[in-house]
Structure 1
Amino acid sequence: MKNLGIATIVAGGLAAAVLGLAAPAVAAPSGPGSAQQTINQLQRQGYKVIVNHIGSTPLSLATVVAIRSGQTYSRTDSGNPGDSRQTTVTNKTVYVDVK
């Protein structure tokens, strides 16, 4: 019985750790606006935007259904021997679903 209690505590701790380490959601633009405005704002924030367009509505009239995080690419280098390592984000991808 004691082992079951310890296992439950450990499982709860692991679940909390996984949730705490989950990637934060992309800060989606809020308020009314077209899908095109949302896409433009994300691009200004430095994201490479991949659009999943459902239907034939023009982006200027479409609405955003979902915004999902994609892959982030980075590069780590030291420049000169003996320098500290520096990580530079080279590309951030976000998926925008519009309808």
Structure 2
Amino acid sequence: MSDIEALLDELNGLPSAPPSGPADLEALLAAARSAAGRWADVLEGIREASRGLAGPRTEAALEVAFRRAEESYVELEIALSACAGPRPH
């Protein structure tokens, strides 16, 4: 399965209803984090494939897009960790 197919499967698996509680939110964040990681993988593949085929502006833009995708993954990891931590009473 390609990275794009895996990403589409993960996106299609995201629940359409909003989370109804902390456990649902945690599951949603975990799924979103996984999809963000796949998206970063897709962009990395595009970035690598474009080397030598496109000009420096294209390569720079793809680099920024890849970095932002990685940052999104990290932020979702932080959100998931915070959500999974001790709950306030």
TM-score where L is the length of structure 1: 0.28
| Larger relative contact order, structure 1 or 2 (CA cutoff 8 Å, min sep 6) | 2
Larger radius of gyration: 1
Please state which structure has a larger fraction of its residues in helix.
2
Relative to total residues, which structure has the larger strand share, 1 or 2? 1
